[in-house]
Homo-oligomer: A and B are copies of this chain.
Amino acid sequence: MKFIAEINVMPHKEILDPQGKAVTKSMVNLGLNEIQNVRIGKHITLEIESPDQESARAKVDEACRKLLANLIMESYDFTLRQA
């Protein structure tokens, strides 16, 4: 069975996000003063071939921990659906 995973990798709340800070300031220049506290991370989609949802979930979790997220600075979550 083929599954599609949608993964979000975000910087930890305690960690400064310079890219997000810069974008928050740019919002003011665009006249969008109402927008605050922009934080920028990664959105990753991938396909995974697996006999069942549980093993697919385990594989995606492994991919996040080993490659996609730096757990010192980032946290991740994901959703899984059948393709």
Residues of A within 8 A of B (CB): 8-10, 20, 23-24, 26-27, 30, 32, 34-50, 56, 59-60, 62-63, 66-68
Contact A38 to B49, CB < 8 A, known contacts A26-B67, A27-B63, A59-B32: no
Number of copies of this chain in the oligomer? 2
A17 to chain B, nearest CB (A): 10
Chain B residues contacting A66 (CB-CB under 8 Å) are 30
Complex Cα distance, B61 from A32, in Å, reads 11
Chain B residues contacting A59 (CB-CB under 8 Å) are 32, 34-35
Interface contact B27-A67, CB-CB below 8 Å: yes
In the complex, residue of chain B having the shortest beta-carbon distance to the beta carbon of A7 = B43
